[in-house]
Amino acid sequence: MADSTAVPTDGVAVKRRVTLPSLTGLRFLAAMCVFLYHTSYLNDPLRPTMPVSFFGDHDVAKPIADFLEPAGRIGVSFFFILSGFVLTWSATAGERPTAFWRRRALKIYPNHIVTWALAMWLFASSTPVHAYVANLLLVHGFSNRPDTAVSVNFPSWSLCCEMLFYALFPLFIVLVRRISDRRLWWWAAGMIAGVAAVTVVTTQLVSGGVSSPFGNLSANQEWFGYEFPPPRLFEFVFGMILARIVAAGMWPRIGLLPGTVLFAGGYWAALKVPNPYDFSLTTIIPIGMIICAAAASDERGKGGWLSGRTMVWLGNVSFAFYLLQALVIFYGRPKVFHAHTYDTVPAIGLWIALLLANVLAAWLLYSLVERPIMRRWARSRKRPARVVPVPAETVPTGEAV
């Protein structure tokens, strides 16, 4: 039976949900996975003869790069699942799609435009017109041309997926709310099956294109299985259904530890299986477990270290942190340190320094662009939908990108 926090039916007045600060903290951990992956590169994609990794000993640098290879893709998958969960959790019955789209556009585009302009100024000015215009409009992920799909500010490809999620969310939330509680687990399993089907289609039906520099796939297969937005909808809807499961009180008392242990097993499997099976398939279940366990803990008022002030602050700047990575790592690192590499201990120190530089840049972008714009224009001036007030409860802050 659904409890008082169950997802509402359209048009029904509902309580506001409790905050989920642990999910805000998880956002930064997902962004860190991508950062660690990018900073382990043996070669800079902008300057192939220069290293990104600080480690001068190849016997140290290569194992680190191999170990962190799945981390970037897994971090992005985490973002997609978390995005579906948080948007569903915080959705308000009766909200107009236009209000939702305006708020999402204000969240995404200002940071994107700033980082796009910086990338064009610093290193991407030779990008073809068709690519940089598509990138600016966040439709470049729909192109299978390598010079377009991942262009200008490289991490922005994932925003194409997010924009598709946001465009379809007003429809999806209506459909997901209509799923009966007893069928939610079946639908969650169906989304996992969808992710598995995408991997099979990628390997068996998609062909053509030059070899991808990032794995054993062709460029077309890499694009379809990883960058093309529609196949990533399965992860987003999976997150939406998990939010319904937690809201309906159907999540069993499984804490973060079992999910973390299973995640470690899934990560180990990702190291062993070929692309595209390591994109998200081996870790989608433990990621879902971690998100649900963290949300359920917050709902019971027992949030741990993930809900602490430091992790929440890092989670708040994580979108800016994610978008600034290419500029800090692939432009800033060679500009400051050139092609120099170092012994293991100083290399670790410089790795940490690069992380702190990325966090500082993210704080500046968040403070000067993202937060002021969201505070000024994100909320509608019109009267909000009727909500039954519940003391000490507010809308969640853990929106993911």
- CA distances to 81, 221, 315, 316 from 195, rounded to whole Å, are 12, 15, 27, 29
> What pLDDT is stored for residue 36 in this prediction?
97
6 is a domain residue:
no
Confidence class for position 380, pLDDT limits 50, 70, 90: low
| Average pLDDT, integer, range 37-65 | 93
The answer, yes or no, to whether residue 311 has pLDDT greater than 50, is yes
The answer, yes or no, to whether residue 110 has pLDDT greater than 50, is yes
Asked whether 331 and 293 are in contact (CB, 8 A), the reply is no
How many other CB atoms sit within 10 Å of the CB of residue 268?
11
> What pLDDT is stored for residue 13 in this prediction?
35
> What pLDDT is stored for residue 382 in this prediction?
54
Asked whether 81 and 263 are in contact (CB, 8 A), the reply is no
The answer, yes or no, to whether residue 1 has pLDDT greater than 70, is no
- Locate all alpha helices (DSSP H) within 15-136, ordered by sequence: 21-39, 58-90, 97-122, 129-136
Round to the nearest angstrom and report the end-to-end CA distance of the chain.
32
199 is a domain residue:
yes
388 is a domain residue:
no
- CA distances to 41, 259, 265, 296, 367 from 254, rounded to whole Å, are 36, 8, 17, 9, 37
The answer, yes or no, to whether residue 257 has pLDDT greater than 70, is yes
The answer, yes or no, to whether residue 203 has pLDDT greater than 50, is yes
Paired tokens of 265:
């097993």
> What pLDDT is stored for residue 211 in this prediction?
76
Q: Mean pLDDT score of the chain, rounded to an integer? A: 89
| Average pLDDT, integer, range 193-222 | 87
* Residue 233 or residue 398, greater confidence: 233
107 is a domain residue:
yes
Count H helices, E strands: the chain?
Answer: 17, 0
Counting the structural domains of the chain, the total is 1
Q: Report which DSSP code applies to 331.
A: I
292 is a domain residue:
yes
> What pLDDT is stored for residue 346 in this prediction?
97
> What pLDDT is stored for residue 216 in this prediction?
78
The answer, yes or no, to whether residue 302 has pLDDT greater than 90, is no
In whole angstroms, what is the distance from residue 281 CA to residue 197 CA?
A: 10
Residue 368 sits at the vertex; the CA angle it makes with 329 and 101, to the nearest 5 degrees, is: 95
| Average pLDDT, integer, range 160-174 | 97
Domain, as residue range, for 236: 21-377
Residue 115 sits at the vertex; the CA angle it makes with 233 and 230, to the nearest 5 degrees, is: 15
The answer, yes or no, to whether residue 16 has pLDDT greater than 60, is no
Short-list 294, 384, 255, CA closest to 78? 294
Which range of 17-26, 146-155, 365-374 scores highest in mean pLDDT? It is: 365-374
The residue type of 264 is: A
Asked whether 64 and 102 are in contact (CB, 8 A), the reply is no
Q: Structure pTM?
A: 0.90
Percent of the chain whose pLDDT exceeds 70: 90
Chain centroid offset of residue 54 CA = 26
* Residue 94 or residue 359, greater confidence: 359
Asked whether 175 and 243 are in contact (CB, 8 A), the reply is no
pLDDT digits 0-9 by tens, 270-285 = 999 999 999 999 999 9
| Average pLDDT, integer, range 90-97 | 89
26 is a domain residue:
yes
DSSP string, 339-393: T--B-HHHHHHHHHHHHHHHHHHHHHHIIIIIHHHHHHHSS-SSPPPP-B--TT-
> What pLDDT is stored for residue 212 in this prediction?
72
Asked whether 100 and 169 are in contact (CB, 8 A), the reply is yes
114 is a domain residue:
yes
Confidence class for position 381, pLDDT limits 50, 70, 90: low
Q: Report which DSSP code applies to 7.
A: P
392 is a domain residue:
no
pLDDT digits 0-9 by tens, 211-238 = 776 677 888 999 999 999 999 999 999 9
The answer, yes or no, to whether residue 294 has pLDDT greater than 70, is yes
